[in-house]
């Protein structure tokens, strides 16, 4: 399970937003629906997820009805604040959303659409484990209004999947993609690189397999060792090696070359799409600081600079809502300095970058040094934008430190 929730101020039991919140109703609004269930816990994962043995006091079959209770609360809170807007994007994440019956996901989406409305052309994404996608599931989701399936492929190499504790069969990725496409859904596949024992040749085989699926979008994330996970404990005991930074850099460069040659364009450090229209609009909403309401245990929300987060365990979440109370555990309103740091951290990761004018005035003279180091594109800087080069993407955190320290 994920680490402790942030510290913050108490959240009101009725979920009401502050009267002085500077809400801009023309800011895009998104919804994130967290489904915290997994068949097994992957050794690298620190998300707020639960296997059946960890659900004490909560029933998976009741989950959709419970979450719909939070949707009703959010509708009241946003309506009272004059902030009600149709959803531009919806994202079912987890966990494994498709462990729930497709009808439950459809019911949750229907409740959110009835409460907030769905903007024309809205993007609606469901994350899925390859083993849980059948033609019937894909068709039910498409008929409910889902537009996009994000399939957790991770690797095409069996020993790499085993190192990550992934239980799906590699060949099921192809059948899941085919089912999604036959139902008219856009498809993204997610990959992870740098697992213990994974070679550059293994990674190239996974890239080849992903490209052969003819998907619209590919995400490739470096394996990060999170404290408290099974993998972190294995590394601490010396049972498996720590990921090699240099090998992960080689893997990233290989991915960028192979994806570019296949017609994909990077638009965020870990994400590539064939066209701008096929980028993940939901993730872009996070990176651009739009408004969203996160539903479910442990979910985080953001509206007009106000942030809050829900209690983590599904049982505690259900108990709050059954009592007619908000499931929010706490909230905060970061000051301008914190918001400026976050803008730079997030916007610098996307292709469009950040305006030089948005860099703290005392740090703008460092842009020239970052250009000289090959981390920032010189032509973009002349146009007033800080945009990462390939080398800059590999060292994105260092660029942010230079621009903000």
Residue carrying structure tokens 């599931």: 137
Least confident residue range of 32-36, 157-161, 231-235, 271-275: 231-235
> Positive or negative CA dihedral for 14, 308, 221, 48?
negative
Question: Phi/psi of residue 188, each to 5°?
Answer: -120, 145
Q: What pLDDT does 362 receive? A: 92
**Is this prediction's pTM over 0.75?**
yes
pLDDT digits (tens, 9 = 90+) for 282-301: 999 999 999 999 999 999 99
Q: Give the tokens for residue 240.
A: 């498996």
Q: What pLDDT does 311 receive? A: 96
Q: What pLDDT does 45 receive? A: 76
Least confident residue range of 6-20, 256-270, 369-383: 6-20
Query: pLDDT-derived band of residue 2, with 50, 70 and 90 as boundaries?
Result: low
> Element (H or E) spanning 36, and its range?
none
Work out the percent of the chain whose per-residue pLDDT is above 90.
Answer: 83
Contact 123, 137 (CB under 8 A): no
Whether the pLDDT of residue 40 is over 70: the answer is: yes
Q: What pLDDT does 235 receive? A: 84
CA dist 366 → 360, 370, 398 (Å): 10, 6, 12
Query: pLDDT-derived band of residue 256, with 50, 70 and 90 as boundaries?
Result: very high
Q: Give the tokens for residue 326.
A: 């908000």
* Interatomic CA distance for residues 86 and 116, integer angstroms: 5
> Positive or negative CA dihedral for 100, 104, 105, 108?
negative
Q: What pLDDT does 53 receive? A: 66
Whether the pLDDT of residue 182 is over 50: the answer is: yes
Least confident residue range of 94-98, 157-161, 240-244, 257-261: 240-244
> Element (H or E) spanning 259, and its range?
helix 245-261
Closest to 119 in 3D by CA, of 69, 148, 84, 93: 84
Q: Which residues have a Cβ under 8 Å from the Cβ of 236 and sit 6 or more positions away?
A: none
Q: What pLDDT does 387 receive? A: 97
Angle between helices 102-116 and 135-144 (to 10 degrees): 10
Task: Report helix, strand or coil for 388.
Answer: strand
CA dist 362 → 123, 333, 356, 403 (Å): 39, 25, 12, 9
Whether the pLDDT of residue 1 is over 50: the answer is: no
Q: What pLDDT does 17 receive? A: 96
Whether the pLDDT of residue 3 is over 80: the answer is: no
Whether the pLDDT of residue 86 is over 70: the answer is: yes
Closest to 157 in 3D by CA, of 198, 196, 188: 198
Least confident residue range of 58-62, 134-138, 226-230, 261-265: 226-230
Mean pLDDT for the chain overall:
94
* Interatomic CA distance for residues 187 and 213, integer angstroms: 9
* Interatomic CA distance for residues 369 and 390, integer angstroms: 16
More confident residue, 78 or 224: 78
Task: Report helix, strand or coil for 312.
Answer: coil
Whether the pLDDT of residue 337 is over 80: the answer is: yes
Q: Which residues have a Cβ under 8 Å from the Cβ of 60 and sit 6 or more positions away?
A: 37, 52, 99, 100
């Amino acid at each position: 399970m994920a680490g402790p929730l942030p510290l913050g101020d108490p959240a009101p039991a009725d979920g009401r937003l502050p009267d002085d919140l500077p809400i801009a109703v023309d800011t895009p609004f998104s919804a994130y629906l967290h489904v915290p269930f997994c068949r097994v816990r992957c050794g690298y994962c620190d998300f707020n997820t639960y296997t059946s043995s960890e659900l004490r006091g909560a029933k998976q079959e009741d989950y959709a009805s419970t979450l719909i209770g939070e949707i009703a609360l959010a509708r009241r809170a946003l309506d009272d604040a004059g902030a009600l807007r149709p959803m531009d994007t919806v994202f079912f994440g987890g966990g494994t959303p498709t462990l729930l019956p497709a009808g439950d996901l459809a019911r949750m989406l229907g409740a959110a659409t009835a409460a907030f409305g769905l903007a024309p052309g809205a993007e609606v994404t469901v994350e899925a484990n390859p083993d849980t996608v059948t033609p019937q599931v894909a068709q039910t989701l498409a008929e409910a209004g889902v537009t996009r399936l994000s399939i957790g492929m991770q690797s095409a190499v069996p020993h790499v999947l085993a190192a990550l504790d992934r239980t799906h069969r590699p060949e099921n990725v192809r059948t899941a993609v085919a089912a999604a496409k036959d139902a008219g859904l856009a498809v993204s596949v997610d990959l992870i690189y740098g697992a213990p024992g994974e070679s550059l040749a293994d990674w190239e085989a996974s890239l080849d397999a992903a490209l052969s699926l003819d998907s619209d979008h590919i995400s490739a994330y470096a394996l990060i060792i999170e404290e408290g996970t099974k993998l972190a404990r294995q590394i601490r005991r010396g049972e498996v090696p720590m990921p090699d930074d240099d090998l992960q850099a080689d893997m990233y460069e290989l991915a960028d070359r192979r994806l570019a040659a296949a017609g994909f364009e990077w638009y965020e450090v870990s994400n590539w799409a064939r066209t701008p229209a096929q980028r993940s609009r939901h993730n872009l909403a996070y990176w651009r600081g739009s408004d969203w309401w996160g539903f479910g245990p442990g979910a985080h929300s953001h509206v007009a600079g106000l942030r809050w987060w829900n209690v983590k365990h599904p049982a505690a979440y259900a108990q709050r809502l059954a009592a007619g109370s908000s499931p929010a555990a706490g909230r905060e309103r970061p000051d301008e300095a914190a918001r400026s740091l976050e803008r730079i951290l997030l916007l610098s990761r996307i292709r469009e970058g950040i305006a030089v004018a948005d860099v703290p005035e005392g740090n703008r003279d460092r842009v020239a040094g970052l250009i000289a180091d090959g981390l920032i594109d010189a032509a973009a800087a002349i146009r007033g934008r800080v945009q990462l080069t390939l080398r800059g993407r590999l060292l994105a955190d260092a660029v942010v430190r230079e621009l903000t320290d």
